[in-house]
Amino acid sequence: MELLTQDEYTSIAAGLDLPTGAFIDGGYRPAISGQTFATVNPATGAKLTDIAACGAADVDFAVEKAREAFDDGRWSKLHPSERKDVLIRLCKLMTRNARELAVMESIDSGKTIYDCETVDVPETIHCLKWHAEAIDKIYDQVSPASDDHIAMVVREPIGVVGLVLPWNFPLLMLTWKIGPALAAGCSVVVKPAAETTLTALRLAELAKEAGVPRGVLNIVPGGGTEVGEPIGRHMDIDMVSFTGSTVTGKRFLTYSAESNAKEVVLEMGGKNPAIVMDDAENLDRVAAHIVNGAFWNMGENCSASSRLIVHKDVKAELLERIAHHAKQWNIGEPLNPETRMGALVSEGHFTKVCGYLEQAENVVIGGTAKDGFVEATVVEVPGNDAVLAREEIFGPVLSVIEVSGFDEAIKIANDTEYGLCASIFTANVKRAIRGARAIRAGTVTVNSFGEGDITTPFGGYKQSGFGGRDNSVHAHDQYTQLKTIWIDLADDADEAVD
């Protein structure tokens, strides 16, 4: 994609018609209370607009309309190919409006326009299209029953779904969830993060234009206490999918237990290890992967490589190469296409990350933070018990831990409450496979940083995940119920009693 100049992006931003209301039952509307909250550009601190501050009453109304839509079958009972056609039309509309979405995403989140244009928006469209194309290609089953019976195992949409989103990838995480949910035939009530609401509201408007029926896709903006908890506790929501912090994710298990025992799927935090062994090939390439994994999206990424576990024999050379690559990750105005690292999402989050930087005793690279921006930072820590090695910082901070061998590296990698992603760099194929099997994480990459792609399931072990996976055909399972239909074919005469 050909990028524009900073002035051109700034001009587009100035001309955006920003949505302000909740999107419920096919249209924008104010919060029932009439209250609003300000959404700001984290790179400048300037207010962008005021958005409807919804509450429990708005959640009730959205769920009521979602239930009506689900029960009358305007979406849930459409032929799969018809649902696919609607979602494909939505993808086309998003493609036509891709630049507008990218700019809106950047100014609302602090993300760089480079990432929004080249990664986030294209991947968002690809994700939705992939799930749309899968709608009429996922088959039900017939079990191997006896000659006198047919047992069908069928999938049915689970019903009304609550989707609670994070702020780090607003558009992409929205489609990670609405893609399979809408494909399955569910109606959804979405709570975007309060920090990043704009693109979810805009996408809902495009969905209406594409033909998604009213009541099927509802966006309810607001805070966690005001909107998130009412979604988690709602007696008429059948399932909740949440992406965010582990602390908040656990609350949804409580909400479910104390309400209607709704299904809960959680994708939570990570403290992801990148293991570099002494036989790793091409340390310059390794360093590029490490830097990308640690600093992409300002480190505001649950799968970020936040712990570098490196063999002592290659540590010095690797850190030298990491320093070289880190210089290319400049911070600056997010709408400048040459900027690689934008602003952290909010003043509160910036303060949190700065608190961790204050605890760093041996800063190798970077360490400067000012006015919402934090430069790429590498910190050596004395061991895996250090706070910077154990807690999820969610900022551009890489903690370095030295090891002497393979077994020690694997032990340290697994010594965490998280288990989302991991990487291992080694030229020994057997060691790579043994390491990948031994690391308790949902995704393990070998000689690279990554998360897989839309075809592979994404989620974690331990306190990184619960109940299901995003992406791939496996994501469709969590938005459906399995039903067995047992048909007796025996001739009545065969069962006659003498």
Indicate which residues carry an active-site annotation.
267, 302
Asked if residues 51 and 197 have their Cβ atoms less than 8 Å apart, the reply is: yes
With tokens 């949190």, the residue in question is: 352
CA 249 to chain centre: 13
CA angle (377 as vertex; 371, 382 as ends), nearest 5: 130
**Residue type, position 73, single letter:** G
**Inter-CA distances, 360 with 74, 122, 196, 306, Å:** 56, 37, 30, 14
CA-wise closest residue to 245 among 233, 257, 228:
228
Dist. CA 342–CA 350, nearest whole Å: 12
Residues 6+ away with beta carbon under 8 Å from 469: 442, 457, 458, 459, 475, 478
Half-sphere exposure of 493 (CA within 13 A, CB side): 0
Tokens in use for 74? Answer: 């305007």
With tokens 């891709």, the residue in question is: 98
C-alpha distance across the termini of the chain, in Å: 79
Within 180-297, strands assigned E span: 187-191, 217-219, 239-243, 263-267, 272-276
Residues in the chain: 498
Tokens in use for 319? Answer: 């850190």
Give the Cβ contact number of residue 85 at 10 Å. 16
Half-sphere exposure of 440 (CA within 13 A, CB side): 13
DSSP H stretches of helix in 76-169 = 80-96, 98-109, 113-115, 121-134
Tokens in use for 338? Answer: 């040459």
With tokens 């490490």, the residue in question is: 290
